[in-house]
């Protein structure tokens, strides 16, 4: 997604000016995507140039210029809502690349990389959960069910923030699961090829002791 489409989505709700677009954008994305004002104005200029946005009247008493979506802008925005986000491009996630390289890099303890990352991701997950709990408590304190999307203290914006948070929670959870998968794949690999065990885990002997194969828990 681009800032461009985000600003167009906000303008579809009503005319607005640069500084307000910026604060609305940040509020709606829970501050996870901070913008600077220059970025907002540059984007608006390009949208105007491309005929997707136009000035809505003269500047107000404080010199602020409001903008509105054009018909072409609305059509492009509608197309965005109905087009799935492209997920086919190759991931360029740092952790993925790091682990892919660590598996073959000499002298790197992959298991330690995995464990260190899992601890960090679990902490991040805990912090996100605290934020989420605060959001839920605030919504309940205001007497509005945040998940109902009712307007009020929690309200629709509270719901938007909660959904952004939950996305981060699910992404962190997926990362923990993947790291766990990496760890067992490494252990399995080490069992098959004892020479590879050097990198494959806490088990420097390369063999899995009998007690590690128990199925109880």
A 10 A CB-CB count for 204 gives 11
Alpha helices (H) along the chain:
3-11, 18-28, 37-49, 71-82, 94-102, 110-141, 155-192
With tokens 């992959």, the residue in question is: 110
Helix (H), strand (E), coil (C) string for 96-150: HHHHHHHCCCCCCCHHHHHHHHHHHHHHHHHHHHHHHHHHHHHHHHCCCCHHHCC
Q: CB under 8 A: which stretch of 10-18, 32-40, 47-55, 207-215 binds another protein?
A: 207-215
Rounded distance between C-alpha atoms, residue 131 and residue 139, angstroms: 12
Of residues 57 through 116, those in contact with another protein by CB under 8 A are 115
Q: CB under 8 A: which stretch of 19-27, 32-40, 72-80, 117-125 binds another protein?
A: 117-125
Residue 26's closest CA among 16, 37, 15? 37
Our CB check for another protein shows the closer of 78 and 166 to be: 166
**Among 20, 74, 98, 118, contact with another protein (rule: CB under 8 A):** 118
211 touching another protein, by CB under 8 A: yes
Site track 152-191 with another protein (rule: CB under 8 A), x = hit: -----------------xx-xx--xx--x--xx-------
**Among 123, 134, 185, 194, contact with another protein (rule: CB under 8 A):** 123
Smallest gap from Cβ 130 to another protein, in A, equals: 9
**Residue burial 49-60, b: 16+ Cβ < 10 Å; e: rest:** eeebbeeeeeee
Count of residues of this chain found to bind another protein when the rule CB under 8 A is applied: 31
Q: CB under 8 A: which stretch of 12-20, 35-43, 79-87, 125-133 binds another protein?
A: 125-133
Enumerate binding residues for another protein (CB under 8 A).
Answer: 115, 118-119, 121-123, 125-126, 128-129, 133, 136, 147, 169-170, 172-173, 176-177, 180, 183-184, 202, 210-217
């Amino acid at each position: 997604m681009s800032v461009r489409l985000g600003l167009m989505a906000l303008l579809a709700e009503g005319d607005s000016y640069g500084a307000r677009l910026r604060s609305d954008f940040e509020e709606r994305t829970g501050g996870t995507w901070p913008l600077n004002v220059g970025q907002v104005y540059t984007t608006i200029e390009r949208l105007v140039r491309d005929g997707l946005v136009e000035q809505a009247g003269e500047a107000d008493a404080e010199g602020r210029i409001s903008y509105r979506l054009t018909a072409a802008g609305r059509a492009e925005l509608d197309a965005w809502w109905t087009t799935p986000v492209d997920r086919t491009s190759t991931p360029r996630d740092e952790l993925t690349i790091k682990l892919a390289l660590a598996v073959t890099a000499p002298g790197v303890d992959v298991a330690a990389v995995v464990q260190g990352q899992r601890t960090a991701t679990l902490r991040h997950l805990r912090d996100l959960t605290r934020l989420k709990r605060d959001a839920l408590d605030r919504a309940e304190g205001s007497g509005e069910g945040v998940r109902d999307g009712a307007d009020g203290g929690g309200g629709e914006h509270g719901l938007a923030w909660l959904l952004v948070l939950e996305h981060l929670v699910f992404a962190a959870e997926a990362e923990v699961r993947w790291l766990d998968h990496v760890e067992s794949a490494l252990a399995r690999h080490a069992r098959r090829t004892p020479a590879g065990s050097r990198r494959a885990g806490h088990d420097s002997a390369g063999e899995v002791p009998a007690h590690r194969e128990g199925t109880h828990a």
